[in-house]
């Protein structure tokens, strides 16, 4: 069952979606639902964070209360979801 | 007005680079260019094109963190949006990594070629995409192998009048064509070599490493290609190919560019060899031009570095503009852009110290 969770987004992501905040609260039971809720508010955001396999993109890290998470990770009420860009590039 | 003085109100060169899209705005003489960028959040951009009717710029690429997308600007680069809605294979299949090529068909369809190799189409100017599944459904698909750049669809050549006809080039699967709007594709590789196979298997139906595919102006049945293993011409829409590499310093290179009006004029940038470093032969830069469809070749060197030049030019980084005389442009892997305003007779550097240049295209627009 969906519950309110707090989500932090990286600056490089919100730069791609004008008006997107770096922190927001939404209702979700899993990380997949977090991405779905983000996509509803900011169309296209899910594609930036997860691929069509589907899974979290290789160089995106998502933590729930400090623990690395996948799309299937369940969320308890009040969970802190931290989306980060991992090391990559050249 | 003298034809040679005719100049559009806007002439820009679009550079897809490893670190974003750059735009060079030229003056009337095409001698001085002002650089803008990087755009597209400095994402790696595989290819950027402009709609010659509207000036809308499309830039396709892929970011290591955020995946593939096609960017769009309707104000010459001042503002941008991006979309990848529908730019995806079915769940469970390998995800699209990046966009390598773009093309506009005569009916307004925007095509995107991606890695891993496949074709997508947009009927709403890049807002949403659908998979052209007829290509991926070809029975040879399980046997396609990646080239050095990955398994990439790097060239899309629409027929200028018939939207049902289209050629694509895939490294290293070869050339494929559809005549039914993408419902089905067939290989078009007869006569092109695959030197990297055993001697008795060097002319397969698929598996060739095509590097570049272009269409001759005004002759839709005539195609030219730079291949990993030779340069070729076809006069029957790719059903058969014959070598045109005699007279060139190497059979290896990446880009080809067709003249905007003369179907017999073509430009190549041969490199010294696949295993020899892939730079301009002897460290002396030259663009090679034919005026007779590939029978004879001329090295164009005036203004290009003739010693200690060890750059390469990638598969989409050579282009012509539609002016008279035609401008020719090429970008190097080491981030320099050379231009000619006289069909290649003389050259000058118009930008340097840029990121590695993946693609070069031009935009000429009159108000």
Per-residue model confidence (pLDDT) at position A87: 82
Which of A15, A32, A47 to probe by mutation at the B interface, max B CB count within 10 Å?
A47
pLDDT score of B1: 39
Q: What is the pLDDT of residue A89?
A: 65
Is the Cα dihedral B247, B361, B101, B261 positive or negative?
A: negative
A59 interface with B at CB cutoff 8 Å: yes
Give the alpha-carbon dihedral of B302, B303, B308, B312, to 10 degrees.
-90
| pLDDT score at B111 | 98
All structural domains of chain B, each given as residue ranges with its CATH number in brackets, are 3-365 (2.130.10.10)
Instruction: Give dist(CA B37, CA B30) in Å, integer.
Output: 19
> Looking at residues B291-305, what average pLDDT do you find?
98
B81 lies within 8 A of chain A by CB: no
pLDDT at position A40: 97
Instruction: Give the 3-state secondary structure of residue B24.
Output: strand
CA distance B175 to A1: 51
The pLDDT tens digits for B267-289 are 999 999 999 999 999 999 999 99
- The pLDDT value given to residue B147: 87
Determine the Cα–Cα distance for residues B273 and B314; give it in Å rounded to an integer.
13
Q: How confident is the model at residue B366 (pLDDT cuts 50, 70, 90)?
A: confident
> What is the band of A90 on the pLDDT scale with cuts at 50, 70, 90?
low
Interchain proximity A47–B41, CB inside 8 Å: no
> Distance (Å, rounded) from C-alpha B251 to C-alpha B273?
7
Share of chain B above pLDDT 90, in %: 95
Q: Among residues of chain B, what percentage have pLDDT more than 70?
A: 98
Nearest CA in chain A to B62: A48
- Residue A13, φ and ψ in degrees, nearest 5: -80, -50
Q: Do B41 and A16 touch (CB under 8 A)?
A: yes
Q: Give the CA distances from residue B25 to residues A45, B21, B33, B77, in Å, rounded to whole numbers and listed in that order.
A: 33, 13, 5, 11
- Decide if B41 touches A, using CB distance below 8 A: yes
pLDDT in tens, A38-77: 999 999 999 999 999 999 999 999 999 999 999 999 999 9
Phi-psi region of A56 (alpha: psi -120 to 50; beta: other; left: phi over 0): beta
Sheet order of strands, B152-158 included: B152-158, B166-171, B174-178, B186-187
The Cβ of residue A78 has, within 10 Å, a number of other Cβ atoms equal to 11
Residue A1 in this model has a pLDDT that exceeds 80: no
- In a mutational test of the A interface, the residue from B40, B41, B43, B65 whose CB has the highest number of chain A CBs within 10 Å is B65
Coil, strand or helix at A57:
coil
CB within 8 A of B142, min separation 6: which ones?
Answer: none
pLDDT score of A2: 87
Band (pLDDT 50/70/90 cuts) for residue B28 is confident
Question: What backbone torsions phi and psi does residue B41 show, to the nearest 5 degrees?
Answer: 55, 25
- The conformational region for residue B171 under phi > 0 = left, psi -120 to 50 = alpha, else beta, is beta
Which sequence spans correspond to the domains of chain A? 3-85
Nearest Cβ partner for B82 among A16, A54, A58: A16
Mean pLDDT across chain B, nearest whole number? 96
Residue B367 reports pLDDT greater than 80: no
Question: Who contacts B130 (Cβ-Cβ below 8 Å, separation ≥6)?
Answer: B86, B120, B121, B122, B123
Residues B129-148 have a mean pLDDT of 96
Of B94, B135, B85, B141, nearest to B115 (Cα)? Answer: B94
B40: closest CA among B12, B18, B24?
B18
pLDDT in tens, B177-216: 999 999 999 999 999 999 999 999 999 999 999 999 999 9
| Per-residue pLDDT, B63 | 94
pLDDT score recorded for residue B3 = 47
B227: left (phi over 0), alpha (psi -120 to 50) or beta: beta
What would the mean pLDDT of B254-263 be, rounded to a whole number? 98
Chain A residues lying within 8 Å of B41, measured CB to CB:
12, 15-16
What is the model's pLDDT at position B179? 98
* Whether the predicted pLDDT of B257 surpasses 60: yes
pTM of the model: 0.96
Q: Spell out the residues 6+ positions from residue B110 whose beta carbon is closer than 8 angstroms to its own.
A: B58, B70, B102, B103, B104, B121, B122, B125, B126
Please name the member of A16, A44, A53 whose beta carbon is closest to the beta carbon of B85. Answer: A44
- Kindly report, residue by residue over A7-22, the tens digit of the pLDDT: 999 999 999 999 999 9
Contact between A13 and B93 using a beta-carbon 8 Å cutoff: no
Of the candidates A12, A43, A52, which has its C-beta nearest B65's C-beta? A12
Q: Please report the pLDDT score of residue B261 as a whole number.
A: 98
CATH value of A3-85 in 3.40.1160.10, 3.10.20.30, 3.40.50.2300, 3.40.50.150: 3.10.20.30
Q: What is the value of ipTM here, to two decimals?
A: 0.95
Q: How far apart are CA B227 and CA B135, in angstroms?
A: 21
């Amino acid at each position: 069952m969906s519950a309110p969770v707090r989500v932090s987004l990286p600056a490089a992501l919100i730069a791609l979606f004008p008006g997107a905040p770096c922190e927001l609260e939404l209702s979700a039971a899993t990380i997949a639902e977090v991405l779905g809720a983000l996509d509803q508010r900011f169309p296209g955001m899910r594609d930036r964070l997860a691929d069509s396999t589907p899974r979290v993109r290789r160089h995106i890290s998502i933590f729930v209360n400090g623990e690395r998470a996948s799309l299937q990770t369940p969320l308890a009420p009040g969970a802190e979801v931290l989306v980060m860009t991992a090391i990559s590039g050249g | 007005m003298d034809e040679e003085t005719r100049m559009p109100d806007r002439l820009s060169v679009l550079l897809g680079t490893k670190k974003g899209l750059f735009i060079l705005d030229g003056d009337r003489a095409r001698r001085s260019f002002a650089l803008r960028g990087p755009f597209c959040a400095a994402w790696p951009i595989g290819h950027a094109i402009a709609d010659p009717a509207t000036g809308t710029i499309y830039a396709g690429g892929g970011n290591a963190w955020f995946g593939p997308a096609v960017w769009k600007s309707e104000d010459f680069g001042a503002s941008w949006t991006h979309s990848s809605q529908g730019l995806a294979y079915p769940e469970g299949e390998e995800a699209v990594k990046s966009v390598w090529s773009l093309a506009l068909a005569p009916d307004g369809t925007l095509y995107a070629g991606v890695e891993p190799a496949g074709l997508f189409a947009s009927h709403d100017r890049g807002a949403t995409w659908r998979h052209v599944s007829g290509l991926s459904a070809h029975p040879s698909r399980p046997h396609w192998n990646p080239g050095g750049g990955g398994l990439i669809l790097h060239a899309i050549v629409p027929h200028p009048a018939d939207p049902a006809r289209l050629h694509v080039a895939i490294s290293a699967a070869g050339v494929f064509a559809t005549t039914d709007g993408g419902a089905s594709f067939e290989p078009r590789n007869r006569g092109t070599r695959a030197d990297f196979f055993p001697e008795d298997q060097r002319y397969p139906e698929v598996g060739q490493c095509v590097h570049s595919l272009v269409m001759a102006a005004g002759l839709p049945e005539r195609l030219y290609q730079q291949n990993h293993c030779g340069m070729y011409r076809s006069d029957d829409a790719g059903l058969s190919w014959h070598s045109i590499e005699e007279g060139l310093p190497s059979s290896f290179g990446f880009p080809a560019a067709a003249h905007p009006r003369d179907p017999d004029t073509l430009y190549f940038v041969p490199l010294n060899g696949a295993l020899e470093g892939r730079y301009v032969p002897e460290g002396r830069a030259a663009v090679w031009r034919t005026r007779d469809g590939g029978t004879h070749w001329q090295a164009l060197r005036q203004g290009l570095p003739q010693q200690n030049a060890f750059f390469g030019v990638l598969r989409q980084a050579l282009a012509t503009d539609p002016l008279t005389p035609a401008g020719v442009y090429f970008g190097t892997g080491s981030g320099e852009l050379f231009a000619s305003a006289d069909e290649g007779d003389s050259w000058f550097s118009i930008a340097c110290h840029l990121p590695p240049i993946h693609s070069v295209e031009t935009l000429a627009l009159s108000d």
